[in-house]
């Protein structure tokens, strides 16, 4: 660990960036993304074929996405409490948390929409909600990586 002196003269220990760059909740969140992407694909399959089994597959994937998202949320909150006092924080993690929470809320709405009968369970609301959830998860995962790797001004 390295020691850093702040502007006000306090000395702090700083962990290497690798110690905070790969949180466990991001790994769990990738399962959430995969399940919701599968639900979107199954929704599209149902909208093209009309075979009711596709809606069952989509409902199962949404449920699995919500379970894995819930686990990711719990682990993410624990990691945030553990790491909140560290001086080096990954950029954009607040946006990641907000977008993931919004995606979870819309995923719950999507699960209720998919419980309707037949065609109305998917077309148009179900497929739109599934697409919005996938887009939110992509942006929420991409944004911290983008903000962490852009050039920053270094003060001497």
Q: Is residue 66 part of a domain?
A: yes
Q: Confidence class of residue 96 from pLDDT cuts 50, 70 and 90? A: confident
Q: Is residue 18 part of a domain?
A: no
Q: Is residue 17 part of a domain?
A: no
Domain count of the fold of the chain:
1
pLDDT tens by residue, 19-47: 444 678 888 889 999 999 999 999 999 99
Question: Does residue 155 surpass a pLDDT of 90?
Answer: no
Q: How open is the CA angle 138-46-31, to the nearest 5 degrees?
A: 30
Q: Is residue 76 part of a domain?
A: yes
Measured CA to CA, the distance from residue 99 to residue 93 in angstroms comes to 10
Question: Does residue 99 surpass a pLDDT of 70?
Answer: yes
Q: Is residue 83 part of a domain?
A: yes
Q: Is residue 65 part of a domain?
A: yes
pLDDT score for 42: 97
Q: Is residue 53 part of a domain?
A: yes
Q: Is residue 123 part of a domain?
A: yes
Q: Which domain holds residue 101?
A: 23-149
pLDDT score for 62: 98
pLDDT score for 35: 98
- Please say whether the beta carbons of 43 and 127 come within 8 A: yes
The residue behind tokens 């920053």 is 152
For residues 38-62, give the mean pLDDT: 96
């Amino acid at each position: 660990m390295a020691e850093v002196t702040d502007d006000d003269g306090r000395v702090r220990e700083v962990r290497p960036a690798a110690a905070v760059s790969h949180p466990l909740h991001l790994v769990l969140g990738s399962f959430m993304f995969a399940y919701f992407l599968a639900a979107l694909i199954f929704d599209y399959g149902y909208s093209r074929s009309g075979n009711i089994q596709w809606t069952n597959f989509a409902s199962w994937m949404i449920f699995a996405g919500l379970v894995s998202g819930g686990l990711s949320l719990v682990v993410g909150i624990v990691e945030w409490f553990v790491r909140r006092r560290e001086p080096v924080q990954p950029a954009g993690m607040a946006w990641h948390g907000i977008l993931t929470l919004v995606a979870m809320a819309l995923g719950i709405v999507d699960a209720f929409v998919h419980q309707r009968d037949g065609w109305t369970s998917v077309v148009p609301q179900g497929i739109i909600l599934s697409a919005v959830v996938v887009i939110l998860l992509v942006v929420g995962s991409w944004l911290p990586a983008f903000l962490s790797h852009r050039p920053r001004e270094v003060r001497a």
